[in-house]
Amino acid sequence: MKYYKRSDCRLCSSTNLKEVLKLTPTPPADSYVNKENLKIQQDTIPLDLYLCLDCGHTQLGHVIDAVEVYSNYIYETASTLGLGSHFKKCADVIMRKFKPTKEGLVIDIGSNDGILLKYFKDYGMNILGIDPMPDIAEKATKNGIPTLSHFFSEEFSKKLRSKYGPAEVVTSNNLVADTDDLISFVKGIKNLMDKSSIFFFETFYFYLQVKNFVWDFTYHEHYSYFTIKPLKSFFNKQGMELIDVEDNPTKGGSMRCTLQLIGGNRQINKSVENHIKLEEKEGFQTQEIMKSYNKRIENSKNEFKNLFSKLLDKNNVIAGYGASATSTTLIYHYNMGKYLSYLVDDFTAKHKLYSPGFHIPVYASEYLYKKKPNYVVILAWRYAEKIINKNKKYLDEGGKFIIPLPKIKIIE
């Protein structure tokens, strides 16, 4: 896997960067492999966060080649619990709040299986998906969501504008943070817009990530860890303005940002400045907040390792629940790789695959009842309640769940 160390800030191009968080190196987090590829060595890549001391943006220090990752990506939106209803609400908010012209064009960049565009289609909008994964683009198109299999770029956006004209709405959920060349990306977005257009994107909100202790969402596919103050400055320099910011609980703490071209048709909501004031009050964009965050992670790691050591001393069989990207970060940093007998997951595309690096086998969740491990670590801990409710039979038969975060709990 190709990667390089990034020496400048994605938002302001400053080279005044400071390492503020050092996690255990991992392979690319979602690089699960099939049996035929088990002999291929998966190298680990440093997993460190750097703070720009000039603009306050936080980003990964080491960058993987996006073409290698997303040409073979196996994630589907449908695999994440609750995201279907979440994206329906997302479309509802845009239609209600920003009132785009009916039958106008909605372009979703990184559209995946097209679930968001489906809801815009239900509203009578014209839709177009852009996604680099050939298989999933083809699948979405067959399901009635026209999708072009292509990496989005400034040059490609010109072709889209020439063929389809300006879009009423451009969306890009959970992709902006996964984009290395943000300046070129935003120029491409601008090419699709006019004064009445909005650009709406959803992404992890680093403020909520830290507050909610969702540190395992740090992995190589996510290059940037956004807060509002640096983002506002960045977009202004690119000729765009933030007009609305809204928090939402997805994936442990995300935000919805809406933008227009500077001088566009809509008023700027007070939510933008309110978020900036809150970040400043809590000391974000500073080294101090990162020192505290780092310390909490290390304390949690040590507490978990102590518990794990005691369980292993008693020859307990331990499995993991959740074969996601965040599982890779958690497995490596908490040193679970050699000790988890297997993983289970509800997403069928992950079954019969092997985890990144350690090559832990992945089975369907029903495997728990066949093998009956003594303990199951809920690696997908944000969904612990749903997972436990679905698997009460495992508890009734004497099994125990371990919830690793935000505080360690044993459920029996």
Does the pLDDT value for residue 178 go beyond 70? Answer: yes
Q: What is the CA radius of gyration of the chain?
A: 22
Rounded to the nearest integer, the mean pLDDT of the chain is 93
Residues 306-319: tens digit of each pLDDT:
999 999 999 999 99
Question: Which pTM does this prediction carry?
Answer: 0.91
- Per DSSP, 188 falls in state H
Residues 392-402: tens digit of each pLDDT:
999 999 999 99
Q: Which residue has the higher pLDDT, 85 or 165?
A: 165
Average pLDDT over residues 199-228: 96
Which sign does the torsion angle of CA 14, 16, 20, 24 carry? positive
Cα→Cα distances 119→67, 78, 88, 137, 408, Å: 29, 14, 6, 17, 38
Residues 335-381: tens digit of each pLDDT:
999 999 999 999 998 999 999 999 999 999 999 999 999 999 999 99
Does the pLDDT value for residue 235 go beyond 50? Answer: yes
Does the pLDDT value for residue 72 go beyond 70? Answer: no
Confidence grade of residue 108 (pLDDT, cut at 50, 70, 90): very high
Cα→Cα distances 42→28, 33, 59, 74, 218, Å: 9, 10, 23, 17, 19
Confidence grade of residue 79 (pLDDT, cut at 50, 70, 90): very low
pLDDT computed for residue 27 by the predictor: 96
Confidence grade of residue 2 (pLDDT, cut at 50, 70, 90): confident
pLDDT computed for residue 71 by the predictor: 53
What the chain holds in terms of domains, given with CATH numbers, is 77-285 (3.40.50.150), 288-411 (3.40.50.720)
The proportion of the chain whose per-residue pLDDT surpasses 70, expressed as a percent, equals 96
Cα→Cα distances 204→122, 178, 194, 254, Å: 27, 10, 27, 4
Average pLDDT over residues 264-275: 96
Residues 6+ apart with CB under 8 A from 69: 28, 30, 31, 220, 221
Confidence grade of residue 68 (pLDDT, cut at 50, 70, 90): low
Residue type, 335: N
Distance between CA 324 and CA 252 in Å, rounded?
14
